[in-house]
Chain A
Amino acid sequence: MGFSLFRKETNIDFVGIRRYGYLLSGILIALCLFTVLFSGIRYGVDFAGGAAVQLQFERPIGDETIKNTLKGLNLPGLAVQQYGDSGRDYLLRFSTPQGLANEEIRSVVTTALQGIEGNSAVIQRLETVGPKVGADLRNAALEAIFYALLLITVYISGRFEQRWMTACIMAAILGAAMYAMGFIGLSMPLRVCACLAVTLAVCGWLRLNFALGAIIGLLHDVVVTVGLLTAMGKEFDLNIIAALLTLVGYSLNDTIIIYDRIRENLRAQDPKNIMPLGKIINISVNQTLARTVMTSVTTLAACLSLFILGGGVIHDFALTMLIGVIVGTFSTIFVCSPILMQLGSSEQYMIPVNADHKDKYERPGEHGVV
């Protein structure tokens, strides 16, 4: 056998210390919500509209010089930010000035920069997004996150609780409600928040506990990651949304691997002598602990390499994933799993096994395809 993290099967009482987990994530969520509400999410050019111009100068230059040069243009909300570490690359951000068409921004900036003598600048990247397009992109992103969660709910409820029909009907109604609300003219953020709240409530009411646990875990991860990024002063653009959606996929991966184990262990129970759910969850989390750690390590290694070497645009993407992988692993172990215990019992989750197939599930580890 190769080197292993855990020589024997570990037996850490995760469920026993769940209150500390809840406390920690409660504090984290509160802090993050506070940050987001207090300082507000900073939208990048993609969502807020405006312009971003990446410049490369011939020689290093100070940002004061650039600011002074561009002062005459009255670019609203101009921010000059150094990029990379050569001192030659700068990123300009500003809102689209009144009375200036998108197509004129480039020439206006180029002309103004010619005022810096002996140090010509080249526009490396230029992005201008009109306010309408920005709003469209933002709404599409929010809608996408919502529908992804909805479909995932259906899949989890179907696979783990055998309740495809219930989940499908719920999803169809919520999807239709989302669509209908669009006609009333509610703004997309409100629609998504309302629908998410309703989804959680309906999952609770229908006792789709696995789905509920997974979604709470996901919301936890997204809220904490968004909060931390906001606290770091990062701007949200399309790349970060892509990273957040990837993170949703990754964190779900983790959750499902453990849920899968819980389901397997539940099926292996003798109906006359069922183990309490807390114990089953504990065993399951411990059994998968080595895998959880290993996968986190390899994914973190890949993300870290992107973070350090990937360069400008990928940098924030990798940062989001780095935070997300850590937060996601934590939430899987300390939030998603214990929540099942909070919401139900072994008896409730046990799906009556057909007598013919019963022998198939006698010992853990010898199961065929479900």
Chain B
Amino acid sequence: MTSATPVATAAGTAPARRRRSAASRVSWSSLLYVAPALAFFVVFVVVPIVQSVRISFYDWDGITVATPAGFANYVAVFTDPDLREALGHALILLIFYAALPVLIGLLLAGLMSRIRIHGLTVFRAVLFLPQVLSSVVVAVAWREILADDGPLNTVLRAVGLGSLTHSWLGDFGTALPSIGGIGAWVEYGLCMVLFLAGISTIDRSLYEAARLDGAGAFREFTAITLPALRPQISIALILTITFALRNFDLIWNTTRGGPGTSTTVPSLYVYQDAFQNRELGQASALAVVLTIVILVVVGIVQLALRERRERRAS
């Protein structure tokens, strides 16, 4: 479930770091300071997660006494062809929700940091706007834009590309990429702002040195900007990947997984199992598996992007 994710990333990143000073002891007085927050964290985050794990081993309708189900719910997760298809969709969406926004963010941040633009703050704010909007608002707006007689098709027809028009969310072939496009639109602003902040901390003298060595704009970007942005890229990927894999609201409010099953994702089935089918055990098992998948993917990204940063720092 959605509440699981913040912890998911926190818990996923912590064990990835080597425990360096075994000698340094836990300061118990400092624990006192975090006690109020810790209490909230335990009650509203840890307990629900543990309950989800526990419920996943039962057959439960949420009301009557549950019956133990062993690993049956997990077996169902891995054998249901619908769920496998949904997982495949989620992996395709990773390209749109994570890879594409990071690339677009890099491009925009690179441009904005080089070229002096009048009213840069305004541009930054406007480009960040999608991130601020409620996802239901985003979904409704894009449903309108992508409709058969919506603005996108109108523009295509106006410029003589009428043959390219689609019912973007209604056609089996275009529904998934269309939803991916919406996700990319939501996420790239966040990536851009992260990267702009990162670029502002880079020592200007590095660029001067590069220029003296005869580096062009592209070389400057690949040799200085990109390596320096490693931590920001890592953060951006963690946030966007998490968003991609647990995405539910955009899909629910645009296609409900349709047409057919062409845009189903695991979290859609979590919702349906929990709130429509009242199979809380099945929903919990799927949520647990989804959380583990997110942890693993995010862990891999962290590990891959961490190594070189530490070498550079030392």
Asked if A and B bind, the verdict is no
